[in-house]
Amino acid sequence: MIIKNMVKEDIPHLSRFQLENWPDIIPEFKFYIHNSFTHPVKIIDQEKIVGIGCALSFGKTAWLGHIIVDEKNRNKGVGRSLVEYLCTYLENKGALTISLISTPGAFKFYQKMGFHVDTEYIFLEGQGPLESKAAPEIEKLRKKDQEEVLKLDKSVCGENRTQVLKDYLKNSYTYQDSEGMQGYYLPHLGEGLIISPDEIAGLELMKLRYQKKNQGVLPVDNTRGVNFLLDNDFQEIRRINRMVRGEDLIWDPSKVFNRISGNMG
């Protein structure tokens, strides 16, 4: 088996790695290939791609995303080789904390690879979008808000995700009250990231999001956000584990009112 960097010519061959209940992986790998902070790779055996994955580097913190092994080649050490290679790559770049989202079937495997549970995410789904009016405190995200958004994201999530967020700040929203910005919603980043240290602001931004959405994913720690959806007849669909290897990440999941995606939390 040989591990090589993924290139754009590999994209047409990735559809067979698509997993059930996962968003389309093709746009994700196109994103990985065209960004400097991501490192997508493939494992080749007998001239065929048998495994894929990506490392996302944010300095001292990092993520593994889309670790997928071809069904016919599972339990043959492909996944272990991928994870070991990508973790070594990230640790050599200075990562002290490596996070990932684990499917239930991969949980014990990641435990053996040195990962432990950080928290859980809850998937919730409603019958349709919610009928609600946007709060008057919600405004379009202005250029002068951008630095504050990045600062808030870092303080809540414990990572410097500027390279991810910077391209999605346009056509986004903030919640502004008499004391300033209390939260933000980036509808075009992944599943629609919502961060707020204030419960009222977070819930109002959720109401805005759910005018057009009927699915969401939140950390279990955000009980106010989860209960808001349950009170509006959303149903819990499933839970998955967020896991970490290395130093524990200092962050506040109770302030995350909707995640980005499974490859960045």
Strand partners, 3: 43
163/144 Cα distance (integer angstroms): 18
Classified by CATH at the fold level, domain 125-238+254-258 comes out as: Aminopeptidase (3.40.630)
Report domain extents, the chain.
Answer: 2-95, 125-238+254-258
User: How far, in Å, CA of 2 to CA of 47, rounded?
Assistant: 9
In terms of Cα–Cα distance, which of 246, 250, 245, 4 is closest to 102? 245
Q: What is the pLDDT of residues 27-69, one digit of tens each?
A: 999 999 999 999 999 999 999 999 999 999 999 999 999 999 9
CB-based burial label for 159 (10 Å; 0-12, 13-18, 19+): buried
- Band (230; pLDDT cuts 50, 70, 90): very high
Measured distance CA(87)–CA(36) in Å, rounded: 17
Are 2-95 and 125-238+254-258 the same fold in CATH? yes
* Residues 143-178: tens digit of each pLDDT: 999 999 999 999 999 999 999 999 999 999 999 999
How many angstroms separate the CA atoms of 265 and 244, rounded? 12
Burial zone of 104 (CB within 10 Å; 0-12 exposed, 13-18 middle, 19+ buried): exposed
Q: What is the DSSP letter of 77?
A: S
Predicted confidence at residue 22, as pLDDT, reads 86
Kindly report the pTM of this predicted structure: 0.94
Query: Which architecture characterizes domain 2-95 according to CATH?
Result: 3-Layer(aba) Sandwich (3.40)
Residue 132 has pLDDT above 90, yes or no: no
Task: Give the separation between CA 210 and CA 127, rounded to whole angstroms.
Answer: 11
